[in-house]
Homo-oligomer: A and B are copies of this chain.
């Protein structure tokens, strides 16, 4: 079972809040709110998504990666390789 099962409710709350921020952006655009204020809200939503990603990644590494490493060095390195690619996508996005 994925590492994040225990904290699933916290993740869902976080994502619902981000969904609310994106709906707030739609309202701002509909109401012709000043661009700079819309951009400030986009930055907030982007940071919230990144924090969610960092939390999920941290749980994944504490769970799946450590578990795999305890099963065998090769298993651990395979999981690390996979996590490293996800980290690269986050850093570059």
Contact = CB atoms under 8 A, between A and B. Distances in A.
Q: Which DSSP category, helix, strand, loop or mixed, fits chain A's interface?
A: helix
Contact of A43 (B19, B83, B93): B93
Contacts of A3: 35
18 contacts: A8-B32, A11-B29, A12-B26, A15-B22, A19-B23, A19-B26, A35-B56, A39-B53, A39-B60, A43-B53, A46-B49, A50-B91, A53-B91, A57-B87, A62-B76, A65-B80, A69-B69, A87-B90
Interface of A: 1-5, 8, 11-12, 15-16, 18-19, 22-23, 25-26, 29-30, 32-36, 38-40, 42-47, 49-50, 52-54, 56-62, 64-66, 69-70, 73, 76-77, 80-84, 86-93
